[in-house]
Amino acid sequence: MQVSLECVPCYLRQVLNAMQHGEIPAEEQGKILDQILLEIPQLDKTATPALNSSLLLHRLQEMAGVGDLFQEAKEKSNEQALALLPLLREMVSEADWPLELAVKLAVAGNIVDLGILQDYDLEASIRQVLHEPFTIYHLPALAQDLRTARKVLIIGDNSGEIIFDSLLVEQLLALDLEVTYSVKAGPILNDATREDAEAAGLPRLCRVIDTGNNFLGVVPERSGQEFLQAMAEADVVISKGQANYESLEGTELAGEKTYFLLKAKCPLVAAHLGVELGDLVLKKNDLRR
């Protein structure tokens, strides 16, 4: 998925949100924004939105001299999700189809995207997935692919969300699948890192790896060998969130084994998917696009 002129306001919104979360002084924010505005015209217009956003956010981190601008917000979102986890785990265990509910709750956590939203209502998002149908829902195909699979790779997205993903991991393990969960190698926005995986208890459940970089989405040329090997060896890939969709949809790397699980929070992503803003999506990768 390539960039559009409509991506520019989102670039700026992400930078502004990051500066506010990092409590950067107003005067310094102005200087940083002046520099970002000079660099936007230099971005590659054939790249993905996720890649260009990453380059600007890296520049922001460099100028601000702060590695993790969202550390406090990430810790808060993990705490909020952990408080809900026992109840949600009980709901999954009592569901008629536990895998289905685990998938729905995994996308409920996708609301925790502080690059796009300044705030979120996690409990409202849970109510949405429990009562509203997915607009694109390829769960039957996913369930069929899982029956013949041995290895599953989950490409994680955000902090907070990663807590709910542990429920999906548990259901995949119950199907005797070998699960690997991927996080970012370093901070960018509120994307999950190894620290968030620890908070979610994932290392006790499955193998946890990182992408080898701190770019939004998946950037193969910047990715570590361990991640690329896990991607190649997986029989099924579950890709969480918009940035991973932007960078992987329609690609040979994703192949026909990748399923995108997300909430459409961007008008361009929604239009690309053929859904409305806010819709829930579980979509198998389509190489015919």
> From first to last of its 289 residues, what are the pLDDT tens digits of the chain?
888 888 999 999 999 999 998 889 999 999 999 999 999 999 999 999 999 999 999 999 999 998 789 999 899 989 989 999 999 999 999 999 999 999 999 998 766 554 454 555 677 778 877 888 999 999 999 999 999 999 999 999 999 999 999 999 999 999 999 999 999 999 999 999 999 999 999 999 999 999 999 999 999 999 999 999 999 999 999 999 999 999 999 999 999 999 999 999 899 999 999 999 999 999 999 987 6
* Encoded tokens for 40: 């936007």
Domain annotation covers residue 1: no
Show which of 15, 31, 64 is a domain's final residue.
Answer: 64
Are 77 and 52 part of one and the same domain?
no
The answer on 224 and 163 residing in a single domain is yes
| Residues whose CB falls within 8 Å of the CB of residue 131, separated by 6 or more in sequence, listed in order | none
CATH code for the domain in which residue 200 is found: 3.40.50.10880
Q: How many helices (H) and strands (E) does the chain have?
A: 12, 7
Does residue 58 sit within a domain?
A: yes
Predicted pLDDT of residue 130: 85
187 occurs within a structural domain: yes
User: What is the rounded CA–CA span in Å between residue 148 and residue 92?
Assistant: 23
Give the per-residue pLDDT at 3: 84
The count of structural domains within the chain is 2
One domain for residues 266 and 188: yes
Range of the domain at 276: 71-284
Helix ranges (DSSP H) in the chain: 7-21, 26-39, 49-64, 71-94, 98-108, 122-131, 139-147, 161-174, 194-200, 225-233, 242-248, 267-273
**Residue linked to tokens 């460099």:** 62
3-state secondary structure of 178: strand
Look up residue 242 and give its two tokens.
């918009």
What pTM does this model have? 0.94
pLDDT value at position 120?
59
The whole-angstrom separation of Cα 171 and Cα 168 is 5
Strand partners, 209: 182
| Cβ atoms 170, 143 nearer than 8 A | no
Structural domain ending residue among the three candidates 64, 81, 113: 64
The β-bridge relationship of strands 280-284 and 207-210 is unpaired
Residues 60 and 80 in one domain: no
Residues 15 and 124 reside in one and the same domain = no
- Both 265 and 196 in a single domain? yes
Supply the DSSP symbol for 158. Answer: B
Same domain, 20 and 119: no
Per the domain annotation, does 132 fall within a domain?
Answer: yes
Same domain, 24 and 164: no
Q: Residues 55, 162: one domain?
A: no
Within a domain: residue 289? no
Question: What's the CA gap between 142 and 72, in Å, rounded?
Answer: 35
Model pLDDT, residue 4: 86
Is residue 2 included in any domain, yes or no?
Answer: no
The answer to whether 84 touches 122, Cβ cutoff 8 Å, is: yes
Last residue of a domain, one of 28, 48, 64: 64
Residues 50 and 88 in one domain: no
Give me the pLDDT at residue 115, please: 47
If you ran DSSP here, which 8-state letter would residue 222 be given? G
In a domain, 177, yes or no: yes
Q: Is residue 234 part of a domain?
A: yes
| Residue 231 and residue 103 in one domain | yes
Regarding whether 172 and 50 lie in a shared domain, the answer is no
